[in-house]
């Protein structure tokens, strides 16, 4: 199917409706129903036992931490934790599902009726995305096919790893909203420490249910389920692709068929998985090996008390405590590590006696964020420490260096490390605050650009910036910009 721009022409009349199902692997030490480790990357089948490998006669015993993590997540998404929930069996045959059924939750999931607020664009108020349910279930093993002659291999190490399935309402209206929702949800599970949120490694997996309808229509269109979306970028691309595909079908008088579709990130397209599902009938029924799960109000309270500050609360606090903009606070709290880093930098500048949290935020988001992004690094891997950046910001605030010089030092710190102060001293980058030296440069520039001086005096204030730039250039950027401004104005105005 073509996806040229002409396809997009009609899209305005349509509305995209998206619901997401996220499978989050819980970061427990042991598996959900046995004592096997959940560690990633062990040799095949070395982390299995009769229970998770579903040998005859064995029985499941629930890991308490799995329940606690699900409660935490439920509270974090403003959901209702059910006081009574139950486990069910979802029956189907697949080589990596050793019991022939997946222990999951069906009629009575542990959490219901939650929601998240997302801010897809800075200029619109936050949007509420409903979360239908969170349920607990077991992960399957892995089958391998590639490079194996005439057979597949089954590795059950992952079998029995606890999962949370987090199901959103069909409240998302664009790929962008879907992306924001996923970022928010991922930030929350990471803050809570219940999931590492790694989409590439599959510990945070997403299926997207996508449909389209004419704007103003209240009924939902026929949806397709998109699978194999291993990054937020792919989720967004797949949704856009799917929306166009469905609109094309409808526009050409065809019908959308409800089906699962497999996304291929390399080809940037999806294909139908029809026929592979061979009329699934999961025959859910309550798991007889596990009594119902009753959760007391006291337990929910004690779990709530153990929860860390979550992104929304943290963002609000950063705004009031550090006078940050809503946008900056939102960016910083997207990851707990980033927010922690920022707070540490801000605190350090205060310790050094030259606090400027707003400037610290700009440096963390702008310079550092951009640089890390370029090198594909996480904040935890930042080569620049809190102390280094803190000192740099403090030095700007103190007036020792200009912002421009600071950027130069930043690059040195990022690539070679070192103490910002030493670098400044070694390279002689201290700001020139000696007014005599600056005055000399001002005189020189005024003499070189008489026309601009005349323009300024004719009322064109804009040229001031140009003149300042020339002076900075003449001083190799070391002149204190405030002083330059002050002296320049004084001279221009005096000669009037």
Residues that bind Zn ion (CB under 5 A): 34, 36, 49, 51-52
Choose between 90 and 391: whose C-beta lies nearer to another protein: 90
Q: Cβ 30 to Zn ion, closest distance in Å? A: 8
Residue 188 binding another protein, by CB under 8 A? no
Residue 278 binding another protein, by CB under 8 A? yes
Q: Give the largest Cα separation in the chain, rounded.
A: 99
Site for another protein in 355-384 (CB under 8 A): none
Q: Cβ 68 to another protein, closest distance in Å? A: 9
Residue 145 binding another protein, by CB under 8 A? yes
Give every strand in the sheet of 269-272, ordered side by side: 80-81, 111-118, 127-138, 162-168, 14-25, 204-214, 224-229, 259-264, 269-272
Contact with another protein (CB under 8 A) among 217, 277, 289, 301: 289
Choose between 264 and 380: whose C-beta lies nearer to another protein: 264
Which token pair is 368?
């550092």
Is 172 exposed, middle or buried (CB count within 10 Å of its CB: 0-12, 13-18, 19+)? buried
Q: Residue for token digits 């939902």?
A: 220
> In degrees to the nearest 10, what's the CA dihedral of 278, 108, 139, 281?
-10
Q: Cβ 286 to Zn ion, closest distance in Å? A: 23
Which region, judged by CB under 8 A, interacts with another protein, from 98-106, 118-126, 328-336, 420-428?
A: 98-106
Spatial separation of the C-alpha atoms in residues 418 and 428, rounded to whole Å: 15
Q: Cβ 39 to Zn ion, closest distance in Å? A: 12
Spatial separation of the C-alpha atoms in residues 109 and 57, rounded to whole Å: 26
Spatial separation of the C-alpha atoms in residues 332 and 179, rounded to whole Å: 17
Residue 328 binding another protein, by CB under 8 A? no
Which token pair is 431?
């700001």
Contact with another protein (CB under 8 A) among 20, 70, 76, 86: 86
Number of residues that bind another protein (CB under 8 A): 64
Site for another protein in 402-441 (CB under 8 A): none
Choose between 159 and 209: whose C-beta lies nearer to Zn ion: 159
Q: Cβ 52 to Zn ion, closest distance in Å? A: 3
Closest by alpha carbon to 337, among 187, 168, 151? 187
Closest by alpha carbon to 261, among 227, 238, 221? 227
Contact with another protein (CB under 8 A) among 267, 279, 305, 496: 279
Pick one of another protein, Zn ion, none as the site partner of residue 30 (Cβ within 5 to 8 A by kind). Answer: another protein
How many CA atoms lie within 13 Å of 224's alpha carbon, on the beta-carbon side? 28
Is 71 exposed, middle or buried (CB count within 10 Å of its CB: 0-12, 13-18, 19+)? buried
Q: Cβ 61 to another protein, closest distance in Å? A: 5
Would you tell me the crossing angle of helices 450-457 and 481-494 to the nearest 10 degrees? 70
The neighbouring-strand residues paired with 213 are 15
Q: Cβ 141 to another protein, closest distance in Å? A: 9
* Gyration radius of the chain's alpha carbons: 29
Spatial separation of the C-alpha atoms in residues 383 and 390, rounded to whole Å: 14
Spatial separation of the C-alpha atoms in residues 155 and 43, rounded to whole Å: 9
Contact with another protein (CB under 8 A) among 3, 7, 91, 433: 91
Asked if residues 36 and 160 have their Cβ atoms less than 8 Å apart, the reply is: yes
Spatial separation of the C-alpha atoms in residues 401 and 415, rounded to whole Å: 20
Q: Cβ 317 to another protein, closest distance in Å? A: 31
Contact with another protein (CB under 8 A) among 10, 95, 403, 418: 95
Residue 62 binding another protein, by CB under 8 A? yes
Pick one of another protein, Zn ion, none as the site partner of residue 28 (Cβ within 5 to 8 A by kind). Answer: another protein
Residue 53 binding another protein, by CB under 8 A? yes
Distances (CA, A) of 377 to 372, 384, 387: 5, 12, 19
Residue 44 binding another protein, by CB under 8 A? yes
Residue 265 binding another protein, by CB under 8 A? no
Residue 154 binding another protein, by CB under 8 A? yes
Residue 7 binding another protein, by CB under 8 A? no
Choose between 120 and 286: whose C-beta lies nearer to another protein: 286
Pick one of another protein, Zn ion, none as the site partner of residue 492 (Cβ within 5 to 8 A by kind). Answer: none
Q: ∠ CA 204-208-211 to the nearest 5 degrees? A: 170
Choose between 290 and 464: whose C-beta lies nearer to another protein: 290
Q: Cβ 196 to another protein, closest distance in Å? A: 16
Choose between 85 and 382: whose C-beta lies nearer to another protein: 85
Positions in the binding site for another protein (CB under 8 A): 28-30, 35-37, 43-50, 53-67, 86, 89, 91, 93, 95, 98-101, 143-145, 148, 150-156, 276, 278-279, 281, 283-286, 288-294
């Amino acid at each position: 199917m073509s996806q040229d721009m002409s396809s997009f022409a009609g899209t305005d009349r349509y509305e995209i409706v998206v619901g997401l199902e996220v499978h989050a692997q819980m970061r427990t030490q042991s598996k959900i129903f046995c004592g096997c480790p959940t560690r990633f990357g062990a040799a095949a089948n070395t982390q299995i036992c009769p229970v998770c490998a579903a040998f005859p006669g064995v029985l499941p015993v629930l890991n308490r931490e799995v329940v606690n993590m699900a409660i935490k997540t439920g509270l974090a998404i403003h959901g209702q934790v059910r006081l009574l929930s139950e486990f069910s069996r979802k029956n189907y045959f697949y080589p990596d599902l050793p019991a022939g059924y997946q222990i999951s939750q069906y009629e009575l999931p542990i959490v219901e009726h939650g929601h998240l607020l997302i801010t897809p664009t800075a200029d619109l108020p936050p949007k509420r995305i409903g979360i239908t349910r969170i349920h607990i279930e077991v992960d399957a093993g892995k089958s391998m096919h590639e490079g194996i002659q005439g057979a597949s291999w089954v590795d059950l190490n992952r079998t029995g790893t606890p999962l949370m399935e987090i199901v959103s309402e069909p409240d998302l209206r664009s790929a962008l909203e879907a992306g924001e929702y996923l970022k928010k949800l991922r930030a929350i599970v990471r803050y809570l420490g219940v999931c590492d949120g790694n989409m590439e490694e599959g510990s945070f997996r997403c299926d997207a249910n996508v449909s389209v309808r004419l704007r103003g229509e209240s009924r939902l269109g026929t949806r397709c389920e998109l699978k194999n979306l291993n990054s937020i970028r792919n989720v967004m691309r797949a949704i856009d692709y799917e929306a166009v595909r469905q609109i094309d079908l409808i526009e050409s008088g065809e019908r959308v068929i409800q089906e699962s579709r497999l996304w291929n990130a390399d080809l940037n397209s999806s294909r139908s998985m029809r026929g592979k599902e061979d009329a699934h009938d999961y025959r859910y029924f309550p798991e007889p090996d596990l009594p119902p799960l009753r959760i007391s109000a006291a337990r929910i309270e004690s779990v709530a008390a153990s929860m860390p500050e979550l992104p929304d609360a943290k963002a609000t606090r950063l705004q009031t405590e550090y006078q940050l903009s809503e946008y900056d606070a939102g960016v910083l709290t997207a990851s707990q590590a980033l927010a922690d880093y920022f707070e540490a930098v801000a605190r350090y500048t205060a310790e050094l006696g030259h606090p400027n949290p707003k400037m610290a935020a700009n440096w963390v988001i702008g310079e550092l964020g951009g640089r890390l992004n370029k090198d594909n690094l996480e904040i935890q891997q930042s080569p620049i420490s809190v102390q280094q950046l803190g000192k740099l910001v403090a030095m700007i605030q103190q007036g020792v260096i200009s912002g421009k010089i600071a950027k130069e030092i930043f690059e040195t710190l990022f690539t070679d490390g070192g103490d910002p102060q030493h670098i400044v001293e070694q390279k002689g980058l201290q700001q020139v605050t000696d007014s005599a030296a600056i005055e000399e440069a001002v005189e020189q520039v005024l003499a070189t650009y008489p026309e601009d001086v005349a323009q300024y005096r004719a009322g064109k204030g804009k040229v001031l910036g140009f003149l300042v730039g020339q002076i900075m250039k003449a001083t190799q950027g070391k002149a204190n910009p405030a002083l330059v401004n002050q002296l320049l104005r004084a001279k221009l105005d005096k000669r009037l």
